[in-house]
A and B are shown apart, each in its own frame.
Chain A
Amino acid sequence: MWNKQSVIKIPFVVAALLLAISCTPSPQATPAPSQVQQDPLATTPAAKLAPADTEDLAWAQVVSAAKKEGKVTLYTWGVTGQAGVKVGRAFKATYGIEVETVTGVIPTLIERLKTEQAVGKHVADTFDASTSSLLIIKDAGLSQPIGYLPALRQKGDFRVNPLLDSEGQLASVNVSYRAILINTNLVKPSDEPKSWQELTEPKWKGKIVLPSPVTAVGMNALYAVKDKFGLDDEYFRRLVKNDPIVVATDREAADMVIRGEAQLYPSCTMTLASPAAAKGAPVKGVFPPEGVIMNFGNTWSIIKNAPHPNAAKVFLNWLLLTEGQNVYGEASAFTPMRADTVDFLPGPLAVPGGIKAVLTDVPMEKQVADLRTNRTVAKLMGIEK
């Protein structure tokens, strides 16, 4: 029954079958009929104040156009994994629009976007990542103005103005605090650093992990506000003299502290450690009295020539509404931009009351400087290409 001939044939047959099946067109995903007939905007105070606003009428058009488009494609860093599943599910339940995601490391996503735009092969509707990456996108001419979003009408609803730039192309959905991250198994409460200055002292020799200023922006944030914290230019050189472990990205630095391979990471974005902290990892945020840095967190743009521009707007708007902020915030354990939502940072990482939070990223000129800051910090730290 089985002989050499037929054994060899099996992979061919299977492959042929699979390829044949994959050739048949897959059924188009039809958007489920929206259960919620009511526009969620109708419940926000803004809508009640000005019901006949022309902008709102125009918005209603955008929403119905979005539903016709039926899906939105996110080139995303933030809406992926479990958070992606939850966000996609909630958005679809409200608007009936399918959320599809494409992810990857940031250089890859940026290169894909650039190539697609250059040849007119438009796939991405939005792009989201850290602020510095979005700056690159904007500089490369890949983003378009977001335009009117009902959620943004009342800037007072937010902790900070979500729009980063005057052209209105970049919007952040959360704020992040950069404080000192420590591993509580390795650092006793009495040893916790009491100031930013202390990190250059011998007691921390070999125990600190830093992200490289050439490939990551973690150190930039500290540099941007060093004057406010009373640090001088030599501070960074002293930090490097203390034998830190230098890794490529902010995330790796946080991971090392979580796993106990390093004891401390200065200027860590608390959201990097929040998934692990929420599940009981031995980490804690230390907030020195000089103050901590407040950044824009996950920043969004709508890509030029987006195939589903209305769906993109509706999605971004929803992310800035209370519903979206709560769903995304809870899934990713971050501090949403809206002031009327709960801060989802887990206890050990939450900002204690009375701590000075210094915003690094406004105004826009400082944003551009962010990328040049890399080189300055790299020089100061003696880490060159």
Chain B
Amino acid sequence: MRLERSTILMIALLVVLGFLILYPLLMLVYGSLRGGGPGTQSGFTISGYVAAITNVDNYKVLWTTFWLSVVRAVLSMALAIFLAWVVTRTDTPWRKGLEFLIWMVFLGLPYLPALISWTLLAGPKGFINQFLMNLLNLDKPIFNIYSYGGIIWTSMTFWASIIFILITPAFRGMDASLEESSRTLGGNGLTTLRKITVPMLAPAILGVTILVLVRFMESFETELMLGYPAGIYVYATKIWWLLGTMPADFPQAMALSIIFLGIILVLILSQWLLIGKKQFVTITGRGFATRPMRIGRWKYVTFGLVILYFITAFVLPIATMILGSFMKVWGVWQAQPFTLDNWVATFENPTVYRSLWNTLIVGFGSATLGMILYSLTSYIVVKTQFKGKKLLDMLTWLPWSVPALILALGFLWAYVGGLPFLSPLYGTVWLLIIVFIVRGFPLGGRVMNASMHQLGKELEESSRVLGGSWLFTFRRIVAPLLSPAFISAWLILFVITVRDVVTVVYLYQPQSRVISISLLEHWIASEYEIAITYGVIMAVMVIGAAFLGRYLGSKQQIIA
């Protein structure tokens, strides 16, 4: 049997991905049967599993995690679809500006400081509550951010912006003639939305919904900050709690992580069965038009709603944050509350500049190398007949089957405590890049899969017929058409990498310190005001990257 060169490449990719993704996960499974990592003295044991299964509280936690995730996924998707529809398919005024504002929600809010901002705004003593209590003469605060509602609110407003970024390329690339046919045949705006637009975009929407659902299942920071004080536990915070007990309960924590992995696997497999092989081609060989739909007077309402979203999701927390960076004690209004000391301290810190540099390297490196890998993988999965493609697709989902902190633990055990030839990577930016590439697979994979689905066959077929090879077709036809999705995904990955602290904290050393660690250092030292300055720096860095991308993109109308 002769193997074509392309098949050999595909097998090589499968092997590489298998190693990158499965090795740390296998270390976690191994750890769960050993009651800990390489530093543990014990032998084979299933005591952790026994403890995990017999503890009734874990079922309660699982249920909470599940329903919280479903609610948040549905609400975030609905909000994001609304925003995407307004911006790409209606004639709402100033659509370009609105789109930019929604991007800002994602880019401009570093997560940890943003959550604290929310507690300062909507905690029982928060600004908003105080303001409303004074205005309406109440004696109890209306909002309490330390609640299910608080978790849902913050997740929804933040994730709507990411989902928006992920689905707008599909929305944009849809041929307007389909919608026009609907109008011609007598359908109004809403009917068209329901019967044409949404079904056509179903694969893109469904794919992102599952992605978001899985992500919420293993979500951590929000639930830690806002749920813990209220006694609300989800999977990731329960595991955290077990690891934080004195002394740590590794057996149960690891067992829970692996059980969770199993649950997510089941979830992913079931979505495969649901979506199946439906292809919804919207970018075809024919030319297409993207005329916005006229919605009459409603366009002012939609405009207002998007602005309202921007103000509540972004302006309020960012203002609190920036204000905080100039205060002596964040959230405390004393006689002379303001100071420049925090900013002075940051710029005088000798490690800041190296941190910034490392962050750029890790961010650019992981986003770029990652996107290349994700695109290649995606192409193979969607457009070829490679026998291992289902396996490949499954692999790309796995990194989100455990919470980020557990995956990081897996990497620690795998690269430091595992195969010896890997341990020189410990503490270097290279290991960080590898981890982020792995961690970005579910997102990068979904985005590129959805984009690949939308490409009609005739474009590639023309290329092959005219003599182009597989690689040539990929480079000159497929890649340029997918560039809007590519750039969006790149930017999302870059931002997520720059902000991540949970993963990095297990693996960095002084020479690979990044800006999120600098933030953490001041956080741990209770120097919250200085920590926020790093948050602002992160936001500026990321917004700068986005501006650059937007400027270059708009030069050729890649990003409208």
Do A and B pair up? The answer is yes
Chain A residues close to B by CB (< 8 Å): 2-5, 7-8, 10-12, 14-15, 18-19, 21-22, 26, 73, 77, 80-85, 100-108, 110-119, 121, 123, 132-133, 136, 140, 214-217, 245-248, 251-252, 255-256, 258-261, 272, 275-276, 279-282, 332, 371, 374, 385
CA distance A216 to B228 in the complex (A): 14
Query: In the complex, what residues of A have CB within 8 A of residue B249's CB?
Result: 385
Query: In the complex, what residues of B have CB within 8 A of residue A116's CB?
Result: 416
* Docked-complex contact A371 and B247, CB < 8 angstroms: yes
Q: Which residue of A lies closest to B420 (CB)?
A: A119
Query: In the complex, what residues of B have CB within 8 A of residue A106's CB?
Result: 244
Query: In the complex, what residues of A have CB within 8 A of residue B479's CB?
Result: 8
Q: Which residue of B lies closest to A378 (CB)?
A: B245
* Docked-complex contact A275 and B490, CB < 8 angstroms: no
* Docked-complex contact A260 and B248, CB < 8 angstroms: no
How far is the CB of B118 from the nearest CB of chain A, in Å? Answer: 13
How far is the CB of A98 from the nearest CB of chain B, in Å? Answer: 9
Is B241 an interface residue, CB under 8 A from the partner?
yes
How far is the CB of A221 from the nearest CB of chain B, in Å? Answer: 13
Interface string of B213-246 (1 = CB under 8 A from A): 0000000000000001101000000000111111
* Docked-complex contact A136 and B510, CB < 8 angstroms: no
How far is the CB of B241 from the nearest CB of chain A, in Å? Answer: 6
* Docked-complex contact B37 and A275, CB < 8 angstroms: no
Query: In the complex, what residues of A have CB within 8 A of residue B426's CB?
Result: 121, 123
Query: In the complex, what residues of A have CB within 8 A of residue B328's CB?
Result: 279-280
**Most chain B CB within a 10 A radius of its CB, from A103, A110, A132, A256:** A103
Within 8 A of A (CB), among B339-369: 345, 348-350, 360-361, 364-365, 367-369
Query: In the complex, what residues of A have CB within 8 A of residue B364's CB?
Result: 11, 14-15, 18
Chain B interface residue count, CB cutoff 8 Å, equals 79
Query: In the complex, what residues of A have CB within 8 A of residue B247's CB?
Result: 136, 371
Within 8 A of A (CB), among B515-560: 517, 520-522, 524-527, 530, 552-553, 555-556, 558
* Docked-complex contact A80 and B480, CB < 8 angstroms: no
Given A15-B365, A115-B412, A215-B241, A80:B524 Cβ within 8 A: yes
* Docked-complex contact B524 and A111, CB < 8 angstroms: no
How far is the CB of B145 from the nearest CB of chain A, in Å? Answer: 10
How far is the CB of B156 from the nearest CB of chain A, in Å? Answer: 23
Given A82-B522, A119-B38, A11:B509 Cβ within 8 A: no
Query: In the complex, what residues of B have CB within 8 A of residue A5's CB?
Result: 480
* Docked-complex contact A114 and B334, CB < 8 angstroms: no
* Docked-complex contact B124 and A261, CB < 8 angstroms: yes
CA distance A102 to B505 in the complex (A): 9
Is B123 an interface residue, CB under 8 A from the partner?
yes
* Docked-complex contact B526 and A119, CB < 8 angstroms: no
How far is the CB of B2 from the nearest CB of chain A, in Å? Answer: 33
Tell me which of A2, A18, A114 contacts B361 (CB under 8 A): A18
CA distance A83 to B517 in the complex (A): 16
How far is the CB of A96 from the nearest CB of chain B, in Å? Answer: 15
Tell me which of A2, A81, A104, A107 contacts B244 (CB under 8 A): A107
Query: In the complex, what residues of B have CB within 8 A of residue A279's CB?
Result: 328-329
Given A3-B556, A103-B524, A276-B332, A108:B506 Cβ within 8 A: yes
* Docked-complex contact B125 and A259, CB < 8 angstroms: yes
Q: Which residue of A lies closest to B40 (CB)?
A: A114
How far is the CB of B248 from the nearest CB of chain A, in Å? Answer: 5
Query: In the complex, what residues of B have CB within 8 A of residue A119's CB?
Result: 38, 416-417, 420, 423
Given A82-B530, A112-B412, A251-B526, A260:B125 Cβ within 8 A: yes
Q: Which residue of A lies closest to B341 (CB)?
A: A279
Is B427 an interface residue, CB under 8 A from the partner?
yes
* Docked-complex contact B416 and A121, CB < 8 angstroms: yes
Q: Which residue of B lies closest to A85 (CB)?
A: B349
Is B201 an interface residue, CB under 8 A from the partner?
no
* Docked-complex contact B555 and A7, CB < 8 angstroms: yes
How far is the CB of B278 from the nearest CB of chain A, in Å? Answer: 29
How far is the CB of B52 from the nearest CB of chain A, in Å? Answer: 11
Given A22-B361, A102-B510, A115:B39 Cβ within 8 A: yes
Query: In the complex, what residues of B have CB within 8 A of residue A83's CB?
Result: 525
Tell me which of A15, A102, A117, A261 contacts B368 (CB under 8 A): A15
Q: What are 18 A-B pairs at a CB distance below 8 A?
A: A8-B480, A11-B490, A15-B364, A15-B365, A80-B521, A80-B522, A102-B508, A111-B39, A114-B36, A115-B38, A119-B420, A121-B416, A123-B426, A133-B246, A140-B39, A260-B331, A279-B328, A385-B55
**Most chain B CB within a 10 A radius of its CB, from A11, A22, A123:** A11
* Docked-complex contact A275 and B526, CB < 8 angstroms: yes
Given A2-B552, A22-B361, A371-B247, 19 additional A-B pairs, CB 8 A = A2-B555, A14-B368, A15-B368, A19-B365, A21-B361, A26-B511, A73-B510, A80-B521, A85-B349, A118-B417, A119-B416, A119-B420, A123-B426, A214-B246, A215-B244, A259-B331, A261-B124, A275-B525, A279-B328
Q: Which residue of B lies closest to A374 (CB)?
A: B246
CA distance A363 to B530 in the complex (A): 39
Query: In the complex, what residues of A have CB within 8 A of residue B520's CB?
Result: 103-104
Interface string of B399-443 (1 = CB under 8 A from A): 000000000010011001100100100110100000000000000
How far is the CB of B140 from the nearest CB of chain A, in Å? Answer: 12
CA distance A106 to B360 in the complex (A): 28
* Docked-complex contact A80 and B525, CB < 8 angstroms: yes
Q: Which residue of A lies closest to B430 (CB)?
A: A22
* Docked-complex contact A81 and B246, CB < 8 angstroms: no
Is B57 an interface residue, CB under 8 A from the partner?
yes
Query: In the complex, what residues of B have CB within 8 A of residue A136's CB?
Result: 246-247
* Docked-complex contact B483 and A4, CB < 8 angstroms: yes
CA distance A265 to B37 in the complex (A): 36
How far is the CB of A303 from the nearest CB of chain B, in Å? Answer: 13
Query: In the complex, what residues of A have CB within 8 A of residue B412's CB?
Result: 111-112, 115
Query: In the complex, what residues of B have CB within 8 A of residue A14's CB?
Result: 364, 368
Within 8 A of A (CB), among B63-84: none
Is B486 an interface residue, CB under 8 A from the partner?
yes
Query: In the complex, what residues of B have CB within 8 A of residue A2's CB?
Result: 552, 555-556
* Docked-complex contact A81 and B556, CB < 8 angstroms: no
* Docked-complex contact A81 and B524, CB < 8 angstroms: yes
Q: Which residue of B lies closest to A99 (CB)?
A: B510
Is B120 an interface residue, CB under 8 A from the partner?
yes
How far is the CB of B350 from the nearest CB of chain A, in Å? Answer: 7
CA distance A127 to B39 in the complex (A): 17
Query: In the complex, what residues of B have CB within 8 A of residue A123's CB?
Result: 426-427, 509
* Docked-complex contact A248 and B37, CB < 8 angstroms: no
Given A258-B329, A385-B55, A385-B57, A272:B526 Cβ within 8 A: yes
CA distance A281 to B329 in the complex (A): 6
CA distance A228 to B68 in the complex (A): 46
How far is the CB of B458 from the nearest CB of chain A, in Å? Answer: 20
CA distance A246 to B55 in the complex (A): 21
Query: In the complex, what residues of B have CB within 8 A of residue A10's CB?
Result: 552
Tell me which of B229, B243, B510 contacts A100 (CB under 8 A): B510
How far is the CB of A61 from the nearest CB of chain B, in Å? Answer: 27
Within 8 A of A (CB), among B314-342: 328-329, 331-332, 334-335
How far is the CB of A201 from the nearest CB of chain B, in Å? Answer: 22
CA distance A275 to B527 in the complex (A): 8
Q: Which residue of B lies closest to A333 (CB)?
A: B526
How far is the CB of A333 from the nearest CB of chain B, in Å? Answer: 10
Q: Which residue of B lies closest to A136 (CB)?
A: B247
Query: In the complex, what residues of B have CB within 8 A of residue A132's CB?
Result: 246
Interface string of B29-49 (1 = CB under 8 A from A): 000000011111000000000
How far is the CB of A327 from the nearest CB of chain B, in Å? Answer: 15
CA distance A121 to B416 in the complex (A): 8
CA distance A279 to B427 in the complex (A): 36
Query: In the complex, what residues of B have CB within 8 A of residue A140's CB?
Result: 39
How far is the CB of A113 from the nearest CB of chain B, in Å? Answer: 8
Query: In the complex, what residues of A have CB within 8 A of residue B372's CB?
Result: 12
How far is the CB of B237 from the nearest CB of chain A, in Å? Answer: 9
Q: Which residue of A lies closest to B243 (CB)?
A: A107
